[in-house]
Amino acid sequence: MSTSFSIIAILYQARWYIASALFASYLAQNFRVYRRLSHVKGPWLAQFSDAWLLGVIYRQRAHHEFYSVKKKFGNLARIGPNTLITCDIDQVTRMNAPRSPYVRSDWYLGFRLAPGIDNVFSMRDEKAHAKRRAQMNLGYTGKENINFEPQIDIHVLNFIDLIQRKYISTYPEMKVMDLAQKAQYFTIDVITDLATGAPFGDLATDSDQHDYLRTTMEAQPAFVMIGSVPSVNKFIQIPFIGKRLFPTAEDEIGMGKMIGIAQEKVAERFDPMRRLKIEKPDILQSFINHNLTQEETVSESLLLILGGSDTTASVIRATMLCILTSPQAYCTLQAEIDAATLSSPVVRDEEARKLVYLQAVILEGLRMHPPTGGLLSKVTPPEGDTINGVFVPGGVNIATNTWALMRSENVFGPDVDCFRPERWLNVSEAKYADMARVVDMTFGSGRFKCLGRTIAWIELNKIFVELLRNFDWAVVDPTNPWKSANLGIIVHREFYVRVTKRVVQE
Ligand code: HEM
């Protein structure tokens, strides 16, 4: 018998010992991981395995389940062998603060839009991230003489026009409109316009151009699951493998089509002949002027589209649902809009900022329904940290429980689960500022704060005014108003409404 055969025979005879040894080492390893954080309580299965977290993500209701975890286990709880979740305002502020020793976790890797290529949201190296943010901050905030308003106004008007053309119900004729879909048509048109200067035109055509929304929605659940398992995530980032899984510019529809458009629009800017013709400052040009390479500019313009459409659409839908199901808020807001002297056909951002009740409605909408439902986890520094009086060793993922954070009773009062814009009225300046600071954390905070916040606020300031000054609204089935799913961002579909033309009483 040859040597190799005899080794195989020995291994075969010892197979049960080997299997037992491997299993014992697996248990010992898990026990070690379990022990490290055994002093932090959480759901039983989460102490030993990521299966609990994967189950939560799979059910697409993570924000509700994390809120239940907070109610049961307190502000700091364990949701995975190496993952804790917090809704402590000071802890979240501290993790995200400039010069904090916390870094972004592997979770952010899932936001690479092409294998191996980072964007500002997926970057985990803090030096590189800070540099990229600095290169893009002026473009995003409009501080380089970029005026977002006229571009956004065009799409607000397209939205109004679409409703007037196709969706005004007059009894007995009912023309049901899916507000979930139209809100996203609006935000995608705004953001593709800002990102590439070539709006998709979803509102004008009343259709999902390039099947972008359908295909990204279909792909998102798988990406969210993969993003939550760092080892799988790292595997698909290997270019050879990722190339077969990620969309590419050659695709005719969906994200791939978007990549193609972004590449083309960015290439035009890098073409020395065409470069001279860019007269109007815009975000893309600002990125380029701050030395982003062609590949980086494509990557960032895609992130702009991905980060800027679902989020704002989610807030528009949720706030509209809150308004339509709260008669007092609906009437008070419409009365405030009617009584104010506002520009026409689209309210100006600075005018909307002065509408006290509108601001209360938007802040309350963001509070009730923060759109980001993902972990946003940061990693404790190597020396560990003490959180809420509990020592947490280094290298542990600390996720943010945004839904619970927005329901902090010590900040907002005992009725946190209720949409009540009045909580923002007749309070001291200090109280208002305190509540507003926490709601602003829906946009993240510190060195990771959302770069698109200015743009989102302009959209929000305009859209509710124009939807309520031009139309009256009713939810078609208030007992089952929409279907919602947490896909990292909380998305909705089938939000059917009945829209009628407004008859304003003088
Ligand atoms: C209401 C709407 C929005 C909300 C609630 C929101 C929320 C957030 C949150 C929570 C983060 C991550 C913070 C973290 O990593 O800890 C973020 C990052 C980001 N958002 Fe938004 N966002 C919104 C709209 C937008 C829009 C409209 C754009 C683009 C125009 C945008 C672009 C970005 C970018 C580029 C980042 C990455 C910033 C960085 O990593 O430094 N967002 N956003």
Q: Which of 24-28, 343-347, 441-445 has the weakest average pLDDT?
A: 24-28
Measured CA to CA in angstroms, residue 299 lies from 112, 132, 213, 263 at distances of: 9, 12, 19, 9
pLDDT at residue number 2: 61
The verdict on 419 and 278 lying in the same domain is yes
pLDDT at residue number 279: 61
- The residue whose CA has the least distance to atom 40 of ligand 1 is 121
- Ligand 1, pocket residues at CB < 6 Å: 96, 120-121, 133, 191, 303-304, 307-308, 311-312, 315, 371-372, 376, 442-444, 448, 450-452, 455-456
Mean pLDDT of the chain: 91
Q: Spell out the SS3 assignment of 288-317.
A: HHCCCCHHHHHHHHHHHHHHHHHHHHHHHH
Q: Is residue 251 part of a domain?
A: yes
The verdict on 393 and 422 lying in the same domain is no
Going by C-alpha positions, the residue among 157, 172, 156, 180 that lies closest to residue 475 is 180
The verdict on 204 and 332 lying in the same domain is yes
Measured CA to CA in angstroms, residue 118 lies from 230, 231, 237, 296, 463 at distances of: 16, 17, 11, 8, 33
The verdict on 196 and 263 lying in the same domain is yes
Nearest ligand 1 atom, CA 378: 16
Residue 23 in this model has a pLDDT that exceeds 70: yes
Q: Is residue 22 part of a domain?
A: yes
Residue 210 in this model has a pLDDT that exceeds 70: yes
Average pLDDT over residues 55-60: 93
The verdict on 264 and 287 lying in the same domain is yes
pLDDT at residue number 252: 73
Element (H or E) spanning 477, and its range? Answer: none
Q: Which of 168-177, 187-196, 331-340 has the weakest average pLDDT?
A: 187-196
The verdict on 2 and 141 lying in the same domain is no
Strands (E), 108-197: 177-178
Cα–Cα distance for residue pair 263/286, rounded to 1 Å = 17
Nearest ligand 1 atom, CA 309: 27
Contact status, residue 391 vs residue 404, Cβ threshold 8 Å: no
Cα–Cα distance for residue pair 88/441, rounded to 1 Å = 12
- C-alpha torsion sign, points 106, 111, 115, 116: negative
Q: How far is the CA of 231 from the centre of ligand 1 (A)?
A: 25
Residues for the chain: how many in total?
506
The verdict on 28 and 44 lying in the same domain is no
Element (H or E) spanning 487, and its range? Answer: strand 483-487
Q: Is residue 82 part of a domain?
A: yes
Average pLDDT over residues 335-358: 97
% pLDDT > 90, the chain: 68
Contacts of 361 (CB under 8 A, 6+ apart): 319, 322, 323, 329, 333, 421, 464
Q: Is residue 506 part of a domain?
A: no
Average pLDDT over residues 43-51: 91
Q: Is residue 467 part of a domain?
A: yes
The verdict on 12 and 62 lying in the same domain is no
Average pLDDT over residues 293-315: 92
Full domain range(s) for residue 4: 1-33
pLDDT at residue number 343: 97
- Check the annotation: does 418 bind a ligand: no
pLDDT at residue number 490: 95
Nearest ligand 1 atom, CA 121: 40
Residue 356 in this model has a pLDDT that exceeds 70: yes
